[in-house]
Structure 1
């Protein structure tokens, strides 16, 4: 059998070297990603049961933003936690809590609502706030929906071809609604790595709050969307730091909680901020003596630094959101 020619040997050696180089680049890229992300892979969020050793559900920042919107719209309408659970389970089944621009026939958005069936225009349905609001409007027309099994209540709104599919999402939706309505404190966390394609800063946070909760959410703080977030030239460094903070008082006299407790309102706003942390470059959220900080290896709510009796009182009466810009 003739030996391979020197040219073929050379080509084979070049091929092996090239293949090894490609593998080396892949390994280097992987290690770089692990270094930048702290070994956490894709950005993630997690909600856990308020009971020790309870269930947990992991989801993406995109899903977190949409879930927080659905919960905010529901409580803004005075809907009970059960209604929010039904809405979240429906969106989990219909879209995976993603605002998708396609579906069966002309179905769109979080709830796969159809313009041809009177749910609204394409633009309206692709607005998560509108989509959630019209879902709740239809849900309130379902007689005794609070007493119905979740899958039955959801089906009477959706008229789906797969009516039993909603039931499998009830456990995860229950965890999400407990956290995002503020009934289960310090149970929702995200790693908080920023999404570079999104707007950031206090003004963006205020705009997003108004989008989900309505303008009343800013009134207790005496704030307005678009208010200046840049300090005057003479501002001291400590003053500059406060311009990155959005403070939302939630005391009983000033907070529009619509029949809910101050504690529920406070934790809803705090969890909403964490859910939006990647999109809005939020670095720190504090409420009720607890604090979440973006970038922690476990992203847990921790006890805030002691600040005396006056500081503790302030911590219980306001949600503070610190942005990266």
Structure 2
């Protein structure tokens, strides 16, 4: 006996009901996303109010951590902020600030450097500190690089097939460089609600990363930083340095950008405190004077 089809009216009613249910579910999802603002999603934001205009650039904690390493390696070599801007714009174009293990032909890492072209071994190039150092090494050999257009300076190092592509990244790279070199106080923040999820932080690992990125002079000795309290790393900032504030903010922003990797829950400097879940806030101090002699990093326990 042949099967009979449902009456047309019932079939249409079923389709309309199913479609309505899908729309309700979608509306509910969008409402939750709108109301929550994607809260709980790890992210970093760098902002600026220079020239009276507010600008921001958002990136993932992974990319912010790599940007912080690139900046630290540059300033450790005594290079100016412009060099850091050029390096960051180059890495934004080549890898989007991700330490990738693939690329065109044998290109690898943040700057897509090629072992076959003498940039180092694959393992070396995949080390962000090494890769950044090699980029700056070649950049420093470009006469007057700081006065050249960014595309020209980057191309002298990279020899890319698309040299003009670096230009579109200059505004974001400049914004990042201003924060990561310490010129723009408290302008980089990261939201890391699950900072402690990876387990407790390791003070020895934090000190090791500091020395690798900034050089051995960043800490007076292996054991002196962080000796004041368990689970805390304190990085001295020389009080007699004319650029004390800038150096302090450079270290503070490095710590914030690397917080997800190193499981840092709190960073404090010059009366400002950053916490993984809430960002920066002003800390009241007795006498109204905020100490600038050290950057303090409290690790997840």
TM-score scaled by length of structure 1: 0.79
2:215 equivalent in structure 1? 214
Q: CA deviation at 1:218?
A: 1.9
Structure-2 separation of matches of 1:251 and 1:184? 19
Q: Is 2:288 the partner of 1:306?
A: no
Question: Once the two structures are superposed, what CA deviation does each residue of 1:163-208 show, in whole Å capped at 9, x if it has no partner?
Answer: 1000000000000001000111110000123464587232332222
2:11 equivalent in structure 1? none
Q: CA deviation at 1:244?
A: 1.5
Q: CA deviation at 1:316?
A: 1.4
236, 252, 258: which is aligned to 2:239?
Answer: 252
Are the equivalent residues in 2 in contact too, given 1:221–1:247 (CA < 8 A)?
no
1:58-77 aligned at under 5 Å gives the runs 58-77=58-77
Are the equivalent residues in 2 in contact too, given 1:34–1:41 (CA < 8 A)?
no
Question: Once the two structures are superposed, what CA deviation does each residue of 1:84-129 show, in whole Å capped at 9, x if it has no partner?
Answer: 0000000000000000000000000000000000000000000000
SS at match of 2:239: coil
Q: CA deviation at 1:281?
A: 1.9
SS at match of 2:219: helix
1:123 equivalent in structure 2? 123
Structure-1 separation of matches of 2:198 and 2:256? 18
Q: CA deviation at 1:50?
A: 4.2
1:294 equivalent in structure 2? 276
Q: CA deviation at 1:221?
A: 8.1
Are the equivalent residues in 2 in contact too, given 1:181–1:264 (CA < 8 A)?
yes
Structure-2 separation of matches of 1:194 and 1:264? 29
* Structure 1 residue ranges, 4+ long, deviating more than 6 angstroms after superposition: none
Q: 1:49 to 1:34 in 2, by over 3 A?
A: closer
Are the equivalent residues in 2 in contact too, given 1:285–1:320 (CA < 8 A)?
yes
Q: CA deviation at 1:211?
A: 2.4
Structure-1 separation of matches of 2:78 and 2:46? 23
1:47 equivalent in structure 2? 46
Are the equivalent residues in 2 in contact too, given 1:139–1:157 (CA < 8 A)?
yes
Q: Is 2:261 the partner of 1:324?
A: no
SS at match of 1:316: coil
Q: 1:113 to 1:40 in 2, by over 3 A?
A: same
Structure-1 separation of matches of 2:182 and 2:150? 21
Structure-2 separation of matches of 1:251 and 1:278? 27
Q: CA deviation at 1:144?
A: 1.0
2:10 equivalent in structure 1? none
Q: 1:54 to 1:38 in 2, by over 3 A?
A: closer
Structure-2 separation of matches of 1:98 and 1:199? 25
Aligned-residue Cα RMSD (Å) equals 3.5
Q: CA deviation at 1:38?
A: 7.8
SS at match of 2:273: strand
Structure-2 separation of matches of 1:132 and 1:77? 11
Q: Is 2:250 the partner of 1:268?
A: yes
Q: CA deviation at 1:44?
A: 0.6
Q: CA deviation at 1:49?
A: 1.1
Structure-2 separation of matches of 1:302 and 1:176? 20
TM-score scaled by length of structure 2: 0.84
1:151-166 aligned at under 5 Å gives the runs 151-166=151-166
1:145-184 aligned at under 5 Å gives the runs 145-184=145-184
Q: CA deviation at 1:251?
A: 2.2
Q: CA deviation at 1:53?
A: 3.3
256, 259, 276: which is aligned to 1:277?
Answer: 259
Structure-1 separation of matches of 2:200 and 2:214? 19
